[in-house]
Chains A and B, each alone.
Chain A
Amino acid sequence: MAELEFVDLSVKVGARTLLDRITLRVAPGEFVALIGPNGAGKTTLLKTALSLRTPSSGSVRLSHRSVSELEARKRAALIAWLPQHIRAEEPVTGLESAAAARYRFRESHAQSRRAAEQALARVGASQYAERRVTELSGGERQRVAFACLIAQQAEILLFDEPANHLDPAQQLEVYRLLGELWREGRSILCINHDVNLLHHVGDAARVRVVGLRAGRVAFDAPFESAALPAHMADLFGVEVEALRGSEQRFIVPRARSTS
């Protein structure tokens, strides 16, 4: 079981500090939701975990080994990513896309295709198997990318706003799937703007919420902690209200903070 650890991690671009001495651990089988204002460094954190960005100091460790030293295929076995934006300029089909995500496996094309078909079926995207991604809508394309992520079969899954551009039904479906993958034993680090969606992963009591502001960890609290609304109000500079549903608590912004 893989463990993801950011150790005293800083990322600087020129004079700008994107991440400032972040120490954060995602234990095997843990679900961590990452929230924060735009430009807080959330996406940078994920990209650094994938070795798409190089730390200025500190390190990212995957199962106690520095991620930059891992051979690319080995890294891909440990960690996978659903980016926020999917490039779609090439008229490649959904099936070919998901089959290509099997790159880390040394297997025949027929085997890749079978795994890709299963992955597409799992996210309910089988109807896009023979359609070209260039012809799909943003939400449909997102689902094909989700199938790619599943086809890769990594242990740690990174999500960058997976519910972006989706209608409410699709949003619930995505978070339900996230919960399913989590219960299969995968670790999940998920950038998220609407914490209320976390109810749909099931077992939300075990979800951790980490707030990021200006490249630093602002808070780190269990999803059901009583302090979360106050943390969020502080993080986003808004007044929030915690509403009680029949079983669940919903945190909604009400107005901008006046202070």
Chain B
Amino acid sequence: MKLRALLIIVSCAALLLAAVLVGPRLEGPQGEFIVWQLRVPRVLVGVLVGATLALVGAVFQALFQNPLATSDTVGTTAGATVGALFALVLDSSRTVQGLPLVTVCAFVGALSGSLLVASFASSRAAHSSDVLLAGIAVTLATSAMASGIQYVSDSRALFAAAQWSLGQLPQVGYRGVLLLAPLCTLSCALLLLLTRPLQAFALGEDLAHSQGVNVPRLRLFALGLGSLGVAACVAWCGPIAFVGLIVPHLVRRLLGSSYRVLLPMSLCVGAALLVTCDAFARLIVPGRELPVGIVTAALGAPTLVFLVARGRR
């Protein structure tokens, strides 16, 4: 098992390195600029976003005892979408404190969506299935709002919104990395501290409660921290599908459900997966970049079906 984990870590590192190097041949100062000012920061953003989405997915699946739970399930993405649409309709070129208005609004939207669900989750009486239902309710309500906004907006804003909703790693340079890094690192580091109580959840929420886990408090912490990290990711990159869903399942299949392994390994694999998908997205159509969200969804859906089919055997 240790050997297998080590092997996975090494291949993840190799994939990250390869993602920086692949592409058209680069020479001279221009090549150096492309590598250091464009590719490296983009890979770093990919690492942060992929790792955060995957870890939060693993945590939420444990928390809700539901293999389908991700940050999308608790209203984060839906909230971000409404925020982003709002900004795009208002004026996509405007900035707040030097940050794009879209990013700021998406961040606020993502946090408010998940806080709505979290406030419900922290109530004593709520069971995890109730929390999932609250998440679905918030998602439905916000998508109604999103449709409403789209209905009254012009075609330019609609096109921008459609592009945003595909999800891509933006060229944000080192400034973007510096803005993302603290939020993602904080969120991931604190989530990793919840390994022990989350492990107690493996045999059921009620048993964990009887073993001394403060369930409402754990839920509030995990939801709050997870949403913070994901909100930052979604705000910059839009909703990137499937990473939070696939990665924990993949790791679980390979290494089992000891969260002391599952959570940190989800971080590694999530980072490598998103960066690799992004490299694909750069190269697959010559001269044109695809949004990475399309690649993750295209790869993710069949992978999920494959994992489920194998698991049933």
Contact = CB atoms under 8 A, between A and B. Distances in A.
Verify that A and B bind, or say they do not.
Answer: yes
Interface of A: 47, 50-52, 54, 71-73, 75-77, 79-81, 83, 86-93, 96-97, 99-101, 103-104, 109, 132-133, 145, 148, 152
Contact of A87 (B204, B212, B258): B204
A87 B65 contact: yes
Interface size class of chain B, counting residues whose CB lies under 8 Å from the partner chain: 20 to 34
Contacts of A97: 202-203
Contacts of A103: 196-197, 200, 208, 211-213
Contact of A92 (B206, B209, B258): B258
14 contacts: A50-B209, A52-B209, A77-B212, A86-B203, A88-B203, A92-B203, A96-B202, A97-B202, A100-B196, A103-B196, A103-B200, A103-B211, A104-B211, A145-B203
Given A54-B125, A72-B212, A96 B196 contact: no
A133 B203 contact: yes
A47 B127 CA distance: 14
A26 to B, nearest CB: 16
Contacts, number: 92
A91 B257 contact: yes
Contacts of B196: 100, 103
A79 B212 CA distance: 10
Contacts of A81: 207, 210
Interface in B225-277: 252, 256-258, 260
User: Among B200, B202, B209, B214, which residue has the most Cβ atoms of chain A within 10 A?
Assistant: B202
Residue of A73, A75, A103, A152 ringed by the most chain B CB atoms within 10 A: A103
Interface of B: 62, 65, 67, 124-125, 196-197, 199-200, 202-204, 206-214, 252, 256-258, 260
A92 B256 contact: yes
Given A96-B202, A100-B199, A89 B65 contact: yes
> Which of A50, A81, A87 has its CB near the most chain B CB atoms (within 10 A)?
A87
A80 B257 contact: no
A77 B215 CA distance: 16
A153 to B, nearest CB: 11
Nearest to A102: B211
Contacts of A52: 206, 209-210
B232 to A, nearest CB: 28
A81 B260 CA distance: 25
Given A90-B257, A100-B196, A148 B209 contact: no
Given A87-B65, A93-B258, A100-B196, A148 B203 contact: yes
Contacts of B197: 103
Contact of B214 (A72, A100, A109): A72
A92 B62 CA distance: 12
Contacts of A93: 256, 258
A149 B199 CA distance: 15
Contacts of B124: 54
The 3 closest A-B pairs by CB, nearest first: A76-B212, A87-B204, A104-B212
Contacts of B200: 100-101, 103
Given A52-B206, A86-B204, A92-B203, A76 B211 contact: yes
A88 B207 CA distance: 12
Contacts of B257: 90-92, 96, 132
A133 B258 CA distance: 12
Given A87-B65, A103-B196, A80 B210 contact: yes
Contact of A109 (B207, B212, B256, B260): B260
A87 to B, nearest CB: 4
Given A96-B257, A103-B197, A91 B252 contact: yes
